[in-house]
Amino acid sequence: MSTTFGVKVKDDYVEVAFRSNGMRFINELAELLPNDTPVIPLDNTAQGVHTIGDVKREIENTDPNAKYWRTVPIKNQNKDECT
């Protein structure tokens, strides 16, 4: 089950991480956020991920050789950059 996670910035959400066969940051600045920064599941359930610290722990447990896939483009990203 895949989930996109975001952080609230003013009246919008910025996508920061994606979980599908493991967790990955999809925003280069996200890993610089404090561990207690809340994250919001944008298209599924949290399943235990509520903060950037939780995202980082999930990333540590992700097999670096796991195939990453994403069927929905990242918001505000050039479609040619999505794979």
Per residue in 47-59, pLDDT (tens digit) is 999 999 999 999 9
**Looking at the predicted structure, is the pLDDT value of residue 82 above 60?**
no
Cα-to-chain-centroid distance, residue 49: 10
Across the range 7-13, mean pLDDT stands at 96
Q: Are 49 and 4 in contact (CB under 8 A)?
A: no
Residue 39 has pLDDT above 80, yes or no: yes
> Averaged over 35-44, what is the pLDDT?
97
pLDDT in tens, 12-33: 999 999 998 899 999 999 999 9
> Domain map of the chain by residue range?
3-64
| Higher pLDDT pick, 49 / 76 | 49
Distance CA 58, CA 76 (A): 24
| Sheet hosting strand 23-25, strand order edge to edge | 23-25, 12-19, 3-9, 40-41
And the tokens for 17? Answer: 């991480």
Q: Phi/psi at 58 (nearest 5 deg)?
A: -65, -40
